[in-house]
């Protein structure tokens, strides 16, 4: 299992959460179970740190047109 950081955005919430999964598609599916209909994007968990997570979330949201 690998650690992923999954960015998500739906009508109720926006954020980034960490999950363990065998691959990115499974990580995204796990987050979509809690946030049906959300836009999601999984990245390697090592690339998202406490220091850069808000900046990375903001950049992802801008790319999504949020």
Q: CA 24, 57, 32 angle in degrees (round to 5)?
A: 45
- Count of domains forming the chain: 1
As a residue count, the chain comes to 66
- Check residue 65 and give its pLDDT: 82
Confidence of residue 66 (pLDDT cuts 50, 70, 90): low
- Which of the two residues, 12 and 4, has the higher pLDDT score? 4
Q: Output the pTM of the full model.
A: 0.91
pLDDT for 15-55, tens place per residue? Answer: 999 999 999 999 999 999 999 999 999 999 999 999 999 99
Domain extent for 32:
2-64
């Amino acid at each position: 299992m690998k650690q992923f950081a999954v960015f998500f955005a739906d009508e109720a919430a926006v954020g980034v959460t960490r999950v363990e999964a065998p691959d990115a598609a499974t990580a995204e599916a796990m987050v979509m179970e809690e946030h049906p209909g959300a836009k999601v994007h999984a990245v390697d968990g090592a690339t998202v740190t406490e220091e850069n997570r808000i900046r990375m979330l903001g950049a992802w949201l801008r790319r999504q047109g949020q």
